[in-house]
Structure 1
Amino acid sequence: MLSPHHRILFTAIACVLLAMVTIQSGASIAKQLFPLVGPEGTTALRLGFSALVLCLVFRPWKALPQGQQWRSIIVYGLCLGGMNITFYYAIERIPLGIGVALEFTGPLAVALLSSKRKRDLLWVAFAIAGIVLLLPEIDAEKGLDPVGVALALVAGACWAGYILFGKKTGTQSSGGRTVALGMTVAACVLVPFGAVQQGTALLSWEVIPLGFLVAIMSSALPYTLEMVALRNMPAQGFSVMMSLEPAFAALAGFLILHELLSPLQWVAIALVIIASVGSSMQPPAKTHSQ
């Protein structure tokens, strides 16, 4: 029989795994919405519903930022919104697993640049090798769409900004209220953009339930699960497990979207995962904020 400590740790691990499953399943469902409302409309639905749910749960109006604190919140929200829409634009053009692996270069860069250890150059080499392996396949007609690859890397840069400004805003209020405010800022910018681009298609009863499902699976539910996990397991262990996310994305893309990856693409994903796990095993391990 498991001891109370082991039961708590097992629950935390299960929460992390379930969070990764829901995030990538949500991304797969989002990709199925693209033919109906495009990446812009899908982003608008995800951010709009997510902001609504998170504000109802965390009630950020009870402790609003003051003065200069709003600057960090606004930049944090813009990074969050930019990360969402550029990632959706990317996976419209390239497989989900590849998109997540390329996006992971953002938090990986933050982790490695904040470290002073020479051995971390090894993890930089693994990450670069993973990206280099994809270069021969970057061909709009025969392989990976170059625009999709570039957009995934831009999403990674936005993720890096999300981490850096998330840490800064996190010192000002609770994590839940920070995310709720950031999501609201992102929604205020991108919901009108999606509405202008897609119009009344966003109000379709075929679209609204799927949009709400994407919001719950991609934001509200996994964020809650990750908060539970972080309270019950070491931050380093959490970071190592989250490093497996590109593999979960590739698996979700295969099972839900029937996206087949070549052996070389699987090797590239594996190299990015190795780099992320390696960087997570070194202090500091605080740079993974999702």
Structure 2
Amino acid sequence: MNAHVKKQTLYAVCCLFIAMLCVQSSGALAKILFQDFAVPVVSAMRLLIGSLLLAFIFRVWTIRWRHVRWTVILLYGLSIAGMNLLFYSALQRIPLGIAVAIEFLGPLLVALSHARKRLDLLWVIFVIFGLALLLPLTPSTQVLDPIGMLFALGAGACWALYIVVGQRPTGLSGNHTVTVGMFIGMLCLLPALFLSPHISSAFQPHYFFMFTMLAVLASALPFTLEMFALRNLSTLTFGTLMSLEPAAATLSGLIFLNEQLTWVQATALFFIILASIGCTLSSNITNEKIKCNTP
């Protein structure tokens, strides 16, 4: 590997880690906004501003609308709306790192469904063991909000649907698919914004800036950084590094929200992360199945 390739690879790895930190920092920012706004309002504002940013970045006006397969796009948009709403609902009740780890099971199970090696049974065992550690099976276990865990599981299910539907032809480029899908997701949540008694507060300069930062950190900036990383990293390397997402979420929760996990919860996260890394390394799945960031 020559010096130029090494430098590009290093830049790509750095971009990927920055993208992960951006996404998880946005989760911390969302939890701060929950103090003043309902979850559906925060979700709607994120998708509203995020979809407008992506529409500008990817020049949505160049889309050939007659080629769009609307059934697929609508399902894609619904999965984005559900993923955002349920994940933010989970964040309101359980720590950021735990919410991301549970939601992470969605794409992990999609990846495992394509696995055919005997070794992959080990990753399933790791996932089950990790989940078992999060359940209050003993009196000494710190109890997590069960509704919050269900919300996180629902977000993971929507994430799995997002991956499966996203692999179908939409009549659009990948960038335009994400942009239009996010816009449809925003339309699904927009009534919650307009019906909120705090709608005027959401557009006040201070809060609007916070919502804009949320959209940038959660969508526009990490998406751009990931695109650069994908061009300079192998699929296997990209997927393996993205498996560290729950760890990045835990770090973000600790730094910005002072969320400290018990050793049992930390061990659970470790086994879920290990299962994701192992699945990626053993099955060598495609970009679409391993890409872990969400719009």
* TM-score, normalising length: structure 2: 0.93
Write out aligned runs for 1:70-149 (5 A).
Answer: 70-136=70-136, 143-149=143-149
The equivalent residue for 2:231 is: 231
The equivalent residue for 1:184 is: 183
The equivalent residue for 1:285 is: 285
For the 8 Å contact 2:119–2:282, the answer to whether it is kept is: no
Cα deviation, residue 166, structure 1: 1.4
- Give distance in 2, aligned partners of 1:281 and 1:172: 31
The equivalent residue for 2:60 is: 60
Cα deviation, residue 138, structure 1: 10
For the 8 Å contact 1:44–1:195, the answer to whether it is kept is: no
For the 8 Å contact 2:26–2:214, the answer to whether it is kept is: yes
The equivalent residue for 1:196 is: 195
For the 8 Å contact 1:19–1:221, the answer to whether it is kept is: yes
- Give distance in 2, aligned partners of 1:208 and 1:138: 44
Q: Which segments of 5 or more consecutive residues in structure 2 lack a partner in the other structure?
A: none
Q: Which moved more, 1:52-61 or 1:200-209?
A: 200-209
- Give distance in 2, aligned partners of 1:149 and 1:73: 28
- Give distance in 2, aligned partners of 1:26 and 1:283: 31
For the 8 Å contact 1:236–1:285, the answer to whether it is kept is: yes
Cα deviation, residue 74, structure 1: 1.0
Cα separation, partners in 2 of 1:65 and 1:267, compared to 1, 3 Å: farther
Q: Which moved more, 1:54-63 or 1:219-228?
A: 54-63
Cα deviation, residue 283, structure 1: 2.8
Deviations along 1:201-239, whole A, 9 cap, x unmatched?
322333111000000001100001001100111011100
Aligned pair 1:10/2:10, yes or no?
Answer: yes
- Give distance in 2, aligned partners of 1:23 and 1:156: 16
For the 8 Å contact 1:44–1:187, the answer to whether it is kept is: yes
Partner SS, residue 168 of structure 2: helix
Cα separation, partners in 2 of 1:67 and 1:42, compared to 1, 3 Å: same
Cα deviation, residue 168, structure 1: 1.4
AA matched with 2:51 = A
For the 8 Å contact 1:195–1:202, the answer to whether it is kept is: no
- Give distance in 1, aligned partners of 2:202 and 2:215: 14
For the 8 Å contact 2:58–2:176, the answer to whether it is kept is: yes
Cα separation, partners in 2 of 1:186 and 1:212, compared to 1, 3 Å: same
Partner SS, residue 154 of structure 1: helix
Q: Which segments of 5 or more consecutive residues in structure 1 lack a partner in the other structure?
A: none
- Give distance in 2, aligned partners of 1:192 and 1:11: 41
Q: Which runs of 4+ in 1 moved over 6 A?
A: none
Cα deviation, residue 167, structure 1: 1.8
Partner SS, residue 136 of structure 1: coil
Partner SS, residue 168 of structure 1: coil
- Give distance in 2, aligned partners of 1:276 and 1:134: 17
Aligned residue pairs total: 288
- Give distance in 1, aligned partners of 2:148 and 2:26: 19
- Give distance in 1, aligned partners of 2:200 and 2:81: 22
Cα deviation, residue 260, structure 1: 0.9
Cα deviation, residue 59, structure 1: 1.8
- Give distance in 1, aligned partners of 2:67 and 2:223: 27
For the 8 Å contact 2:81–2:185, the answer to whether it is kept is: yes
AA matched with 1:193 = A
- Give distance in 1, aligned partners of 2:16 and 2:137: 32
* TM-score, normalising length: structure 1: 0.94
AA matched with 1:179 = V
AA matched with 2:69 = Q
Deviations along 1:229-271, whole A, 9 cap, x unmatched?
0011101110000000000000100000001110000000000
Cα deviation, residue 181, structure 1: 0.6
- Give distance in 1, aligned partners of 2:16 and 2:69: 31
Deviations along 1:41-67, whole A, 9 cap, x unmatched?
111111000000000111233123546
Cα deviation, residue 193, structure 1: 1.9
Aligned-residue Cα RMSD (Å) equals: 2.0
For the 8 Å contact 2:19–2:222, the answer to whether it is kept is: yes
